[in-house]
């Protein structure tokens, strides 16, 4: 498994802790930055991670900013991305099982290190359930295709 990981300045420290922990578990990662607490714009990193996942250069993505909200919003603009901003292990699990979330967005200002680790673990352990959920994920993809066509008309 390969994970693309990225953060803005507010999420940098938590991203580093997550990256180090996953690397210690033998998980391959592509760190898309940022590499300090200097102020940067979160959409730049959400796009990098989202595009890497959408192009299948990484299996999954993890994004960290202050709240997780901006990262999820920006990543979800990349076609093929289903980013979930979650605050609990159960939400993380359900985002994978029901929504086939391929990007996890976390809020560094709202999660301590151990809670973030637990969320990441639950998210990585879960897998898409398919079945009735596949129909719904397909409908999300259809919305995306229709909106792309409308934008090009």
CATH of residue 117: 3.40.1400.10
Cα torsion angle, 68, 70, 71, 73, sign: positive
Reply yes or no on whether 9 is catalytic.
Answer: no
Taking only the tens place, the pLDDT of each residue in 54-82 is 999 999 999 999 999 999 999 999 999 99
Rounded distance between C-alpha atoms, residue 97 and residue 147, angstroms? 25
Longest dimension (CA), the chain: 49
Instruction: Look at residue 136 and tell me whether its pLDDT is greater than 90.
Output: yes
Average pLDDT over residues 73-97: 98
Q: Catalytic residue at 98?
A: yes
User: Which is catalytic among the residues 2, 17, 98, 133?
Assistant: 98
pLDDT band at 15 (very low <50, low <70, confident <90, very high): very high
Angle between helices 113-125 and 89-97 (to 10 degrees): 20
In degrees rounded to 5, what are phi and psi of residue 28? -75, 135
Domain membership of residue 86 as a residue range: 2-152
Q: Which has the closest alpha carbon to 124: 79, 69, 59?
A: 59
For residues 32-37, average pLDDT: 97
pLDDT surpassing 90 at residue 153: no
Whole-model pTM: value is 0.96
Active-site residue, from 65, 83, 120, 124: 65
DSSP 55: T
């Amino acid at each position: 498994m390969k994970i693309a990981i990225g953060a803005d300045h507010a999420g940098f420290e938590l991203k580093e802790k997550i990256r180090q922990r996953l690397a210690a578990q033998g998980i391959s990662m592509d760190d898309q930055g940022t590499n300090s607490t200097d102020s940067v714009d979160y959409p730049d990193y959400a796009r990098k991670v989202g595009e890497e996942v959408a192009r299948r250069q990484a299996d999954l993505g993890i994004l960290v900013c202050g709240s997780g909200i901006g990262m999820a919003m920006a990543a979800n603009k990349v076609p093929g991305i289903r980013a979930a901003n979650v605050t609990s292990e159960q939400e993380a699990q359900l985002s994978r099982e029901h929504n086939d979330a391929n990007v996890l967005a976390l809020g560094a200002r709202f999660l301590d290190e151990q809670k973030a680790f637990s969320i990441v673990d639950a998210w990585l352990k879960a897998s898409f359930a398919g079945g009735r959920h596949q129909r719904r994920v397909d409908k999300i993809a259809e919305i995306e295709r229709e909106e792309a066509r409308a934008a090009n008309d």
